[in-house]
């Protein structure tokens, strides 16, 4: 019997994301993480969803706020955008409307993260 996820990016089961600086720390689950709105947590979540959705987990460590998206990541085609939006909606418990699919939102990981953060606040 396993006590955690079988893959580090699988957050469907509780994952220990304990803050070692918190003496009374507790374990955060994907639900808790999705509702946490710190910029670093949102960026990490967007990168994780992006890498998993596009199947580029091996390159996740090289993805940063400045990384270009639509037009720069060949895996992010029109179908990839739809799949990414659905995955972000699930992960962050947000709704992305059709009119939100703009070039500005999908310009970089940073602009996408800022968009997600604006929807979770």
Task: Determine contact, residues 88/76, Cβ cutoff 8 Å.
Answer: no
Task: State the residue for tokens 């089961």.
Answer: 13
The tens digit of pLDDT for each residue in 5-57 reads 444 444 433 334 444 434 443 333 344 444 445 778 999 999 999 999 999 99
pTM: 0.68
The tens digit of pLDDT for each residue in 64-115 reads 999 999 889 999 998 999 999 999 999 999 999 989 988 899 999 999 999 9
Measured CA to CA, the distance from residue 20 to residue 9 in angstroms comes to 20
Structure tokens at 104: 């500005």
Nearest one of 97, 83, 91, 86 to 36, comparing CA atoms: 91
């Amino acid at each position: 019997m396993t006590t955690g996820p079988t893959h580090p990016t699988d957050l469907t089961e509780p994952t220990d994301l304990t803050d070692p600086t918190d003496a009374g720390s507790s374990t955060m689950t994907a639900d808790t993480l999705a509702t946490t709105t710190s910029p670093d947590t949102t960026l990490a979540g967007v990168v994780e969803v992006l890498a998993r959705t596009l199947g580029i987990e091996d390159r996740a460590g090289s993805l940063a706020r400045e990384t270009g998206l639509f037009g720069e990541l060949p895996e992010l085609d029109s179908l990839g955008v739809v799949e990414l939006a659905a995955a972000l909606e699930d992960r962050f418990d947000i709704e992305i409307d059709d009119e939100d699919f703009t070039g500005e939102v999908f310009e970089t990981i940073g602009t996408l993260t800022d968009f997600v953060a604006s929807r979770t606040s």
